[in-house]
């Protein structure tokens, strides 16, 4: 049994692409295997750990719970969009400085959700940060340094007056 | 951990979606936000021959007020409902419950109709629909029909929708003056999957309870009302003592099931606590629900 491949047109990190995909191809696997954007990590593949979080049309989504065929016409941003071959973004730098990662497997997801959080809440309380990041599991840090990093990133972005990370 | 093969359809109208659904004679599944369905596909718990994506069907993502009803299309994203001023004004209980549904990453994709039609036994939205007395509008090959929320939820992952029908929209009665509400739940981790949840709507008149619906998830295969507790509240002054009395009655006539991670005794202990908390929160929240 074979299923028909569908043509999709997506904008990934600002670049317009056209590909043919099998319906069952998950967005995370499309990004990793078709586009070689391996920054998006697949942890649990059933929507629990948050490692595969990307942005679809400006809102975070779990790329393991979305099929590539569903995002035809959409704009996708992955963790690679934060620092495309350049210096680290403000949020990334804050994670680095505050030791908000050890193994780094969950980090791409945390970064994407943090970016969404800080775009909505430029000055989030610890409670707001923890609520916003509750869809992400980190087995290394115990979350304390992640919360610190997010606070620091918020302050830095406010200082810079942009209020929004890349 | 990868789904079996399936055909994919992305129809432009609900009518077209229903035609495809009929053609597959029960072997196709409707795809809304995918936040519950795709895990089942990834685990191969289900392996439908086709998925019919409703996200491009015209008119299914509308939020509007129609007379005395707040109408939410089945494909309204949970995050859109959460931030909608119309929803906040017409049905503040929906706005208040949204953060409980999952993290924002899930609510950005998850839909109102998907959560209701999936009918997970611990899902929050079905309890809210029952508490508010919502009407669910099904669309099938022979047109539309209205199903009361009370009748819509049949069991765990089971609704009154027939195999050739889809949920089109939900109509919630616009909240009236004196209406109070609350949603509370017990979870293993803050805002995680509900172990037990309580959706509450009541109408107060000069401190007296005129109407109350207490709807619980997590104690049965579908949202469960608590008639004994409700009866003891109606017609009486709602104060702390009345809330405590109703809470004590909440476990009357209820069979509690044991699960490996949660014995029946825990549910029996936590339910009255939640009912009391919901009642007190609803009373103190007062003004918020008045327009």
What pLDDT digit, counting tens, does each position of B184-235 carry? Answer: 999 987 777 889 999 999 999 999 999 999 999 999 999 999 999 999 999 9
Q: Which residue stretches of B104-202 are H helix? A: 104-107, 112-118, 124-132, 149-152
Q: Between chains, do A2 and B106 touch, taking CB under 8 Å as contact?
A: no
Give the mean pLDDT of B1-23: 96
Assign residue B41 the CATH number of its domain.
3.30.43.10
In a domain, B274, yes or no: yes
Q: Is residue B11 part of a domain?
A: yes
The pLDDT score that the predictor gives to residue B290 is 44
Per CB-CB distance under 8 Å, the chain A contacts of B2 are 24, 26, 29, 45
The yes-or-no verdict on residue B291 having pLDDT over 50 is: no
The stretch B16-31 carries a mean pLDDT of 98
B1 domain-assigned: no
CATH number at residue B261: 3.30.390.50
Contact A131 B191 (CB under 8 A): yes
CB–CB contact A61 B104 (8 Å): no
Q: Could you tell me which residues come within 8 angstroms of residue B48 by beta carbon, excluding any fewer than 6 positions away? A: B6, B27, B28, B29, B41
Tokens read off for B13: 């109208």
Confidence of residue B255 (pLDDT cuts 50, 70, 90): confident
* Residue B195 and residue B166 in one domain: no
Same structural domain for residues B13 and B75? Answer: no
**Domain identity same for B158 and B212:** no
Residues B100, B160 within the same domain: yes
Q: What is the pLDDT of residues A28-38, one digit of tens each?
A: 999 999 999 99
Contacts of B41 in chain A (CB under 8 A): 24
Q: Are residues B13 and B72 in the same domain?
A: no
Task: State whether B75 and B142 are in the same domain.
Answer: yes
Q: How far apart are CA A109 and CA A107, in angstroms?
A: 5
Range of the domain at B188: 179-289
In a domain, B2, yes or no: no
Mark the ranges of chain A whose per-residue pLDDT is less than 50. Answer: none
> Tokens at residue A74, please?
């959409």
pLDDT digits (tens, 9 = 90+) for B33-83: 999 999 999 999 999 999 999 999 999 999 999 999 999 999 999 999 999
| Interface confidence (ipTM) of the complex | 0.95
Reported as a single tens digit per residue, the pLDDT across B79-109 is: 999 999 999 999 999 999 999 999 999 999 9
Chain region(s) in chain A for CATH 1.10.150.120: 90-160
pTM of the predicted structure, to 2 decimals = 0.95
Residues B129 and B157 in one domain: yes
| Total tally of structural domains belonging to chain B | 3
Percent of chain B at pLDDT > 70 equals: 98
Q: What is the mean pLDDT of residues B245-270?
A: 89
Domain boundary among B140, B173, B206: B173
pLDDT over 70 at B286, yes or no: no
| Closest approach of B84 to chain A, Cα-based (Å) | 15
A13 DSSP β-pair partners: none
CATH, range A90-160: 1.10.150.120
Q: Tell me whether residue B243 is in a domain.
A: yes
Question: At the top level of CATH, which class does the domain A6-79 belong to?
Answer: alpha beta
């Amino acid at each position: 049994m074979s299923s028909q491949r569908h043509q999709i047109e997506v904008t990934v990190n600002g670049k317009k692409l056209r590909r043919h995909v099998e319906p069952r191809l998950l967005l995370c696997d499309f990004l990793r295997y078709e586009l070689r954007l391996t920054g998006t990590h697949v942890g649990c593949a059933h929507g629990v750990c948050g490692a595969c979080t990307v942005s679809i049309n400006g809102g975070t989504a779990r790329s393991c719970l979305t099929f590539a065929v569903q995002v035809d016409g959409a704009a996708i941003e992955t963790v690679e969009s934060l620092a495309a071959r350049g210096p680290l973004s403000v949020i990334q730098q804050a994670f680095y400085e505050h030791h908000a990662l050890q193994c780094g497997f969950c980090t791409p997801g945390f970064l994407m959700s943090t970016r969404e959080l800080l775009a909505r809440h430029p000055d989030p309380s610890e409670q707001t940060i923890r609520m916003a990041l509750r869809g992400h599991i980190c087995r290394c840090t115990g979350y304390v340094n992640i919360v610190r990093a997010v606070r620091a990133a918020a302050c830095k972005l406010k200082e810079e007056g942009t209020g929004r990370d890349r | 951990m990868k789904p079996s093969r399936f055909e994919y359809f992305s129809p432009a109208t609900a009518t077209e979606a229903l035609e495809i659904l009929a053609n597959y004679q029960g072997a196709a599944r409707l795809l809304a936000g995918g936040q519950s369905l795709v895990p089942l596909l990834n685990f191969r718990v289900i392996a439908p021959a086709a998925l019919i994506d409703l996200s491009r069907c015209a008119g299914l993502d509308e939020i509007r007020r129609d007379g005395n009803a707040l109408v939410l299309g089945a494909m309204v994203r949970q995050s859109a409902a959460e931030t909608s001023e119309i929803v906040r004004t017409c049905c503040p209980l929906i706005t208040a419950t949204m953060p409980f549904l999952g993290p924002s990453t899930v609510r950005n994709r998850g839909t109102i109709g998907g959560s209701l039609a999936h009918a997970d036994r611990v899902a929050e939205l079905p309890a809210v629909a029952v508490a508010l007395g919502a009407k669910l509008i099904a669309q099938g090959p022979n047109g539309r029909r209205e199903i009361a929320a009370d009748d819509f939820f049949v069991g765990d992952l089971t609704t009154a929708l027939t195999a050739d029908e889809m949920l089109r929209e939900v109509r919630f009665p616009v909240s009236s003056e004196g209406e109070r509400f609350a949603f509370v739940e017990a979870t293993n981790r803050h805002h995680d999957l509900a172990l037990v949840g309580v959706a509450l709507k009541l109408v107060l008149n000069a401190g007296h309870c005129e109407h109350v619906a207490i709807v619980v998830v997590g104690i049965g295969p579908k949202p469960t009302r608590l008639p004994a507790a409700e009866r003891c509240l109606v017609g009486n002054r709602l104060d702390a003592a009345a809330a405590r009395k109703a809470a004590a009655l909440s476990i009357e006539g209820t069979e509690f099931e044991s699960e490996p991670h949660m014995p029946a005794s825990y549910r029996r202990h936590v339910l009255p606590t939640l009912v009391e908390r919901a009642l007190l929160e609803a009373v103190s929240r007062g003004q918020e629900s008045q327009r």
